[in-house]
């Protein structure tokens, strides 16, 4: 039997975004086509993606129904500009619909992360709080299409269903500490976090303290660079560690299934752990800070320091009002999203012409630098190099004079 052609194109540039588009692609494929193999992934930097799709035209984009973008904010904007240019001149009678979203917790008060994604047909919000913030931001600039933001929710790992954040919390003997690449930021802070984890291991010898690194050392294509790896910190600075401390690289879904307590500084995994009924600790030893991401959990009841953590303590309930605003899951909302997509695809088919292209905020309004930049204004590489050399020489001269 000839395999069916893929109908969903997944585009991603780094590891966590690849995982996000693949999980979302499976959900969409099952809902739209009742099959798992309806998607095709291109994992590459934006420039390589654009060359393949728009310059070399390695595939006919009009054959796809949906494109899911797993890119950074500026890359979203650049892709959508090229996408619009292509379909303005391609003479096609149909086009795919572009979905943009967020592969983890985002800051919904930052307009740029939203505005740079408005070139997509639909922007996917992770929770009701984000949805309300995004709609308010679009209204504040009188954007014509505030309805393009839809609630999807977090896409959980490994297709494990998340039933309800209110399920009974489990107890047991494994603390899972989920590492992040860029928080805590300094070596000193990371060594302190490791010290606290080892102290817990000594206080609770019957518990397993499992550290899940963000990635293997020197892994390529990671979303955020990591400089101080927990596995190296443990090996170099804590050689006499307790025997109940381990590094584990297994998929996060497997580890959450075994965990009694999940601790992290500000990772999206905390959202999934809450949904799975795992006691969740959002580490506050370094303060509650926007740059560390744990400010998202204010009011949840999950913020706690590792220094005073009591693993045997009866866990408190996560604040239901906070859950209502901040936790949604994609499997609950993908049906409504796919209903909208079917209606858009049907309207395009009936009209016999490409569905109107999305107009992004940065095109509709006067953001002259961005509009000029993407129209092609650029300083030559030679002039950049000459300027940097001159600036470096001036800086050296000033240091010698001082």
Q: For the domain that residue 252 is a member of, what is the CATH number?
A: 3.40.50.2000
Is residue 360 within 8 Å of 118, Cβ to Cβ? yes
Are 129 and 104 within one domain?
Answer: yes
Are 76 and 147 within one domain?
Answer: yes
Are 318 and 339 within one domain?
Answer: no
Instruction: Determine, yes or no, domain membership for 134.
Output: yes
Structure tokens that stand for 364 in this block: 């509709």
Other beta carbons within 10 Å of 45: 13
> Which pairs count as long-range contacts for 42-47, CB under 8 Å and 24+ apart, including other chains?
42/9, 42/10, 42/11, 42/12, 43/12, 43/13, 43/18, 43/221, 44/13, 45/13, 46/13, 46/71, 46/75, 46/78, 46/79
Answer with the one of 276, 305, 326 that is the final residue of a domain.
326
Instruction: Determine, yes or no, domain membership for 270.
Output: yes
Residue 100's beta-bridge partner residues?
A: 69, 123
Cα gap 75→12, rounded to integer Å? 10
Are 85 and 141 within one domain?
Answer: yes
Is residue 40 within 8 Å of 82, Cβ to Cβ? no
Are 149 and 223 within one domain?
Answer: no
Report which secondary-structure segment, H or E, holds 339.
helix 330-351
Instruction: Determine, yes or no, domain membership for 208.
Output: yes
> What does DSSP assign to residue 324?
H
Are 133 and 262 within one domain?
Answer: no
Instruction: Determine, yes or no, domain membership for 192.
Output: yes
What SS3 class is residue 67? strand
Whole-angstrom Cα Rg for the chain:
24
Query: What sign for the dihedral angle of Cα 31, 128, 329, 249?
Result: positive
Are 92 and 111 within one domain?
Answer: yes
Are 188 and 147 within one domain?
Answer: no
Instruction: Determine, yes or no, domain membership for 380.
Output: no
DSSP string, 173-217: SEEEEE--SSSS-SHHHHHHHHHHHHHHHHH-TTSEEEEE-SS-T
- Structurally, the chain folds into a number of domains equal to 2
- Helix axes of 15-33 and 330-351: crossing angle, nearest 10 degrees: 70
Distance of CA 134 to the CA centre of its chain: 16
Are 121 and 255 within one domain?
Answer: no
Are 238 and 302 within one domain?
Answer: yes
What SS3 class is residue 40? strand
Structure tokens that stand for 189 in this block: 């802070």
0.75 exceeded by the pTM? yes
Residue 186 vs residues 182, 191, 192, 229, 292: alpha-carbon distances, Å = 9, 9, 10, 11, 12
**CATH number of the domain within which 55 lies:** 3.40.50
* Range of the structural domain that residue 275 is part of: 174-326
Distance of CA 298 to the CA centre of its chain: 20
Are 182 and 312 within one domain?
Answer: yes
Instruction: Per-residue pLDDT tens, the chain, 402 aa: give them.
Output: 456 789 999 999 988 899 999 999 999 999 999 998 899 999 999 999 999 999 999 999 999 999 999 999 889 999 999 999 999 988 899 999 999 999 999 999 999 999 999 999 999 999 999 999 999 999 999 999 999 999 999 998 754 444 444 444 444 499 999 999 889 989 999 999 999 999 999 999 999 999 999 876 665 555 556 778 999 999 999 988 999 999 999 999 999 999 999 999 999 999 999 999 999 999 999 999 999 999 999 999 999 999 989 999 888 889 999 999 999 999 999 999 999 999 999 999 999 999 999 999 998 777 877 776 655 556 688 888 888 899 999 989 988 887
Are 207 and 343 within one domain?
Answer: no
Other beta carbons within 10 Å of 339: 12
Instruction: Determine, yes or no, domain membership for 235.
Output: yes
């Amino acid at each position: 039997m000839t395999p069916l052609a893929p109908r969903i194109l997944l585009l991603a540039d780094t590891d966590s975004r690849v995982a996000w588009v693949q999980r979302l692609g499976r959900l969409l494929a099952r809902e739209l086509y009742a099959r798992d193999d309806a998607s095709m992934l291109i994992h590459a930097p934006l420039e390589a993606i654009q060359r393949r799709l728009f310059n070399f035209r390695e595939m006919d984009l009009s054959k796809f129904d949906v494109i899911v973008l797993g890119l950074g904010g500026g890359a979203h904007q650049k892709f959508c500009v090229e996408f619009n240019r292509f379909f303005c001149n391609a003479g096609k009678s149909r086009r795919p619909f572009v979905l943009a979203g967020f592969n983890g917790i985002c800051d919904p008060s930052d307009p740029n992360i939203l505005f740079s994604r408005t070139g997509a047909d639909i922007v996917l919000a992770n929770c009701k709080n984000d949805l309300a913030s995004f709609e308010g931001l679009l209204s504040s600039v009188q954007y014509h299409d505030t309805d393009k933001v839809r609630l999807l929710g977090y896409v959980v790992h490994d297709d494990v269903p998340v039933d309800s954040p209110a399920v009974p919390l489990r107890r047991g003997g494994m603390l899972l500490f989920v590492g992040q690449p860029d928080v805590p930021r300094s070596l000193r802070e990371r060594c302190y976090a490791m010290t606290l984890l080892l102290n817990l291991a000594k206080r609770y010898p019957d518990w397993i303290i499992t550290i899940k690194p963000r990635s293997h050392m020197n892994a390529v294509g990671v979303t955020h660079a990591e400089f101080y790896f927990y596995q190296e910190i443990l090996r170099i600075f804590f050689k006499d560690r307790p025997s109940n401390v381990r590094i584990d690289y297994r998929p996060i879904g497997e580890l959450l299934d075994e965990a009694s307590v999940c601790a992290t500084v500000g990772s999206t995994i905390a959202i999934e752990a809450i949904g799975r009924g795992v006691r969740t600790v959002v580490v506050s030893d370094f303060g509650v800070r926007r740059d560390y991401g744990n400010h998202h959990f204010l009011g949840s009841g999950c913020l706690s320091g590792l220094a005073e953590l009591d693993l045997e303590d009866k866990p408190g309930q996560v604040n239901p009002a906070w859950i209502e605003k901040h936790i949604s899951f994609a499997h609950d909302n993908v049906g409504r999203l796919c209903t909208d997509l079917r209606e858009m695809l049907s309207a395009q088919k009936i009209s016999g012409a490409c569905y109107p292209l999305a107009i992004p905020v940065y095109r509709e309004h006067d953001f002259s630098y961005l509009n000029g930049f993407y129209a092609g204004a650029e300083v030559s590489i030679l002039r950049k190099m000459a300027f940097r050399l001159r600036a470096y020489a001036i800086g050296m001269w000033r240091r010698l004079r001082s």
